[in-house]
Amino acid sequence: MLSTNAAATLRKEAASLREVHLRDLLADAGRARGLVYEMDDLRVDLSRQKLTAQTMTALLDLAMETGLVASIDALFAGERINKSEDRAVVHMAQRAATRREGAEYARLSGFADSARRGDVTDVVNIGIGGSDLGPAMVSAALAGHASGPRLHYVSNVDPSHLHDVLTGCDPARTLIIVTSKTFTTAETMRNAALARDWQGGSGGGMVAVTAAPQVARGWGIDPDHIFEFDQGVGGRYSLWSAVGLPVMIDVGPAAFTDMLAGAAAMDDHFRTAPHDANLPVLMGLLRVWNRNFMNLATHGIMPYDQRLHLLPAWAQQLEMESNGKSVSVDGAPLRHATTPVIWGTAGTGCQHSFFQALHQGSDPVPLDILVPMRPTGLHLAGDWAASHQVLVANAVAQAEALAIGSPNEAEPHRHFAGDRPSTIISWNATTPFALGRLLALYEHVTVVSGFVWGVNSFDQWGVELGKAMAGQAEAVLVGETASDSLSVTAADLLARMSGSGDS
């Protein structure tokens, strides 16, 4: 990537733009409005990024020189682009109209409807990673559409997580959903075993969502209560599949289907829109620009929508597990940085915590500031409606303040340098359709930046070593093996645990 002609141009662009303040760039109305892109009511405003029209042209040239068109075509054609696992990438098929109209989806919807109509009072989803982060985030985002049994998510192997959830549930009226691609994930299966014992040991009140149905049957799940998804669906891309069952029970099949339709609409836009008007392409190239040419190592995602407060955690896994690689798709060492550190939380609370560092700290952090123009699922009037206006005003004001700043040489502690980039992403309201569209946008942003960086965005071998070493440490704790394979201090700590007794 760094050896392309476009990269050389972009390095010159970056050097030039470092000498120009964002307040001066924003003063050019033609430039500012020219960096606002739309897909229906979804609006992406890049005017507060250190960009010009020339920068965008060079970034699009970089996309061409790194073969982005061919990579996107291969993705949609179902080629086996996940080379390390020799798999196609099929998560988009999970939200396509053909799947929504098929028998498998009808079976899933029928089960969700039966759970909503029956005597189930609580649904507990046990999973971790993509089997938890995506569904939990969507359930929070669509809380205004919730109409099913009470819904809980358990991910941590810390027994207090499961205990605190089950304490408020009735074993006879609780549906346990065990979500695991392999049905061998250590944390998930330990929690599932505890939940099975809590229900009496038969597993009759349990459902499996998995790509390994035979393993689920062997574990004791009734075949009629097993819902499959394809091996080519990566965990962090899986909420569109049967992994979304707890959401479907929560909000109903119709709302869940609307969410899939919104994601499919973004898929169509990504596949067909010209790259100079293609939201995922432009935002993915911006990731590369800020990471590799502006040398910004982190990226904040700040939703000004309380119900989207879990979106940054979902995006952390999406981008950092996908693109946190230091070798190319073919295994060659890379000479350039890849994913930034993704982080964030909901506004406006963040303004009273870490925004101090964003405004006056030494490290600029590019942000995505996300804001719906109106609330959904709320019937607001008077002061209640005014509160949402205040929310929108805060989102816009923070972006403006970060970019423009407020010089004060007389009182340095009141000096705001500005020149800190952000993108405002806005839409009408967070409906299921709009949510699906937004989440698919972030998926494709991740894929675009991964293609340009030359990495495999669809494997995650980096999580395996920690799992293996956890197994070794557990074997030491229970006395099955000696601690010779561990460092001295690790062995000392485990010995302390073994001798601590109950407390």
Q: Which residues are catalytic?
A: 321, 352, 467
In single-letter form, the type of residue at position 351 comes to Q
How many other C-beta atoms lie within 10 A of the C-beta of residue 359?
17
C-alpha span between 109 and 298 (Å, rounded): 40
C-alpha span between 245 and 265 (Å, rounded): 21
C-alpha span between 127 and 186 (Å, rounded): 10
Using DSSP's 3-state secondary structure scheme, residue 201 falls into: coil
- The first and second tokens of residue 76, run together, are 């949609």
Q: How far apart are the first and last CA of the chain?
A: 55
Q: Is the peptide bond before 121 cis (omega within 30 degrees of 0)?
A: no
291 within 8 A of 324, measured Cβ to Cβ: no
List the 422-427 sheet strands across, edge first. 36-39, 42-45, 422-427, 367-372, 298-303, 341-343
Q: Which candidate, 464, 458, 462, places its Cα nearest to that of 91?
A: 458
C-alpha span between 361 and 366 (Å, rounded): 13
DSSP state string for 143-186: GGG--SSEEEEE--SSHHHHHHHHTTS-GGGEEEEEE-SSS--H
Torsion sign (Cα): 388, 392, 398, 401:
negative
